[in-house]
Amino acid sequence: MKKTILITGWTGYIWSHWVVAFEKAGYKTVIVDNLVNSNLETLENIEKILWYKPDFFEVDLRNKEKLREVFEKYDFDWVVHFAGLKAVGESCEKPLDYFDNNIVGSIKLFELMQEFGVKNIIFSSSATVYDSSIYERKNFSWAVETDITWNTTNPYWTTKFILERILKDLANFSGFRVMNLRYFNPIWAHPSWFIWEDPEWIPNNLMPFIFKVANGELDELKVFGGDYDTVDWTWMRDYIDVVDLIDWHLKAYEKINKPHPNPLLKGEGIKEVWFFKTYNLWVGRARSVLEMIKATEKVVWKKIPYKIVDRRPGDLASVYCNPKKAKKELAWEAKISLEESLKNSWKFYNK
């Protein structure tokens, strides 16, 4: 009997890749999404890869009654929770929208999980929970899972921090089994080039911009800031291939059922054994904006015109995390080379 997974926010960029990986791994996926930042074209594209359409329900997580109807239809083994608004800048303009969408929506989901006895969850958290003071304090070495701080500086970060804490309590007091995964810059496209990150409007992230300049859709790349204390004065990031990232999620699921001692909480009513694990999922190599431009030029065989402009408001400082714990405990690491990732993406943007 196939294990059935409820995936929230699947039509989004990363999670459309997830559906393909998990269906191919033998799981049945059921997807809910309100299409606030995606469209049904993704479903058509996934069908081109899988030769069938997974079950999809257009549901806003905050509509508990409609979401309950989905829970009533299936016997879910676990939930992969990706639905959420994710833009740091936008969250600063609309804090309450982010709190309502990401926190209230997630709580409705958790309530139904509890009601229907579905206790396994993989949560898509973010390295946004590591603030730049960590890097300064550690002389810009790589953040590890315990480096989280509560002093959030943008509403998006606040939602991730709060949801991690809620899930930790549900693991302690309500029997939830939680795999809490933090990453930051998933990029590229599926080798089939049927699914990719291609927001319908002008892209926000670096790589869609670079490729749209390479294919002539945009004239030049604006490099936000050229005065940072890095190898070439532009921001560093650890970019991970989205297919690698999703494969790592598969590994994480296999571990979700392994109990382990509760290292953080002792005391009345706290179970000694619990199921709450956090992992940084990263390549472990930071690259600057200019390095990414040069690497892309080698693949597309053309110069990428760019202009260094002012820093982007709200831009995080160099962000990179140490993936050592995940590599060791999940026995996995990123495999896809930068060149292969760039070639996969260029196949799409150069269509």
Residues annotated as catalytic (active site), given as ranges = 156
Q: Which stretch binds ligand NAD (CB under 6 A): 5-13, 130-138, 214-222, 322-330?
A: 5-13
Which option in ligand WQD, ligand NAD, none does residue 130 bind, with CB closer than 5 to 8 A by kind?
A: none
Nearest to 67 by CA among 115, 22, 25: 115
For ligand NAD, the binding residues in 258-277 under the rule CB under 6 A are none
Which option in ligand NAD, ligand WQD, none does residue 80 bind, with CB closer than 5 to 8 A by kind?
A: none
Closest distance to ligand WQD from the beta carbon of 281 (Å): 12
Neighbours of 316 (CB within 10 A): 19
Closest distance to ligand WQD from the beta carbon of 86 (Å): 5
Give me the residue label for tokens 């804490």.
165
For ligand NAD, the binding residues in 300-319 under the rule CB under 6 A are none
Asked whether position 86 contacts ligand WQD by CB under 6 A, the answer is yes
For ligand NAD, the binding residues in 163-192 under the rule CB under 6 A are 183-186
Name the β-bridge partners of 6: 30, 79
Q: In whole angstroms, give the CA distance from residue 51 to residue 202.
A: 31
- Which residues neighbour 62 within 8 Å (Cβ) at sequence distance 6 or greater? 100, 101, 104, 105, 108
CB 18 within 8 A of CB 246: yes
Q: In whole angstroms, give the CA distance from residue 219 to residue 230.
A: 26
Neighbours of 56 (CB within 10 A): 20
Asked whether position 184 contacts ligand WQD by CB under 6 A, the answer is yes
CB nearer ligand WQD, residue 67 or residue 83: 83
Asked whether position 289 contacts ligand WQD by CB under 6 A, the answer is yes
Binding stretches for ligand NAD (CB under 6 A): 9, 11-15, 33-38, 60-62, 82-86, 101, 105, 124, 126, 183-186
